[in-house]
Amino acid sequence: MLSACGADADVYAIPLAEAKARIASTKASYKAGSQTRWMRSAGVAADGLRVKLSNAGTYSSSCVVRFETVGSDKTRITPDCGDTGAAITDAGVQFFEREIAALVRQTLTGEPVDAELLGREMAAIVIKSFPKMQKEGFEADEKWVEAQKEAAIQRAEDQKAGWAD
């Protein structure tokens, strides 16, 4: 199960220091179709560990993995890749957070990443985000149309005033 699948799915029966050490030293991966996705530690962040998630070396995303002690010997681990407020970008962020959660689980428990389940969860994110994505897309088009209209009006006024060809 990934972190979003249950109330304590992101809580591990491992002390915080050991969890941090294992994540800090990992280079975890999984196959998704013909691609291999990698997660590796990228250093300490003020509030956790920075990790990089790469796709066969072609691009990468940097996120923070946050750690919280739960009881005396358990640790809650939460990936945080940020929030931009833009639906398309935030859907991508949620994809990365899901992948990191799955790779953390693999690192700490040995449970392999279920790429098919991850793909279905990502599809659900897109479906849930789609109305906002459409709205943002239409707003951008309306803004572009308005800007073009204003530019055309300005060109006509400039031409009347003798400032244009």
Note the pLDDT tens digit of each residue in 38-81: 898 888 888 899 998 886 555 567 889 999 999 889 999 999 98
Residue 139: is its pLDDT beyond 80? no
Range of weakest confidence among 17-26, 95-104, 110-119, 148-157: 148-157
* E-only strand ranges, 27-148: 27-32, 35-45, 48-55, 60-70, 74-80
* CATH architecture of the domain formed by 3-127: 2-Layer Sandwich (3.30)
User: Do the Cβ atoms of 164 and 155 come closer than 8 Å?
Assistant: yes
Cα gap 83→36, rounded to integer Å: 25
Q: What are the phi and psi torsion angles at 80 (to 5°)?
A: -135, 110
Domain ranges of the chain: 3-127
User: Do the Cβ atoms of 40 and 51 come closer than 8 Å?
Assistant: yes
The 10s digit of each residue's pLDDT in 140-153 is 667 767 777 887 88
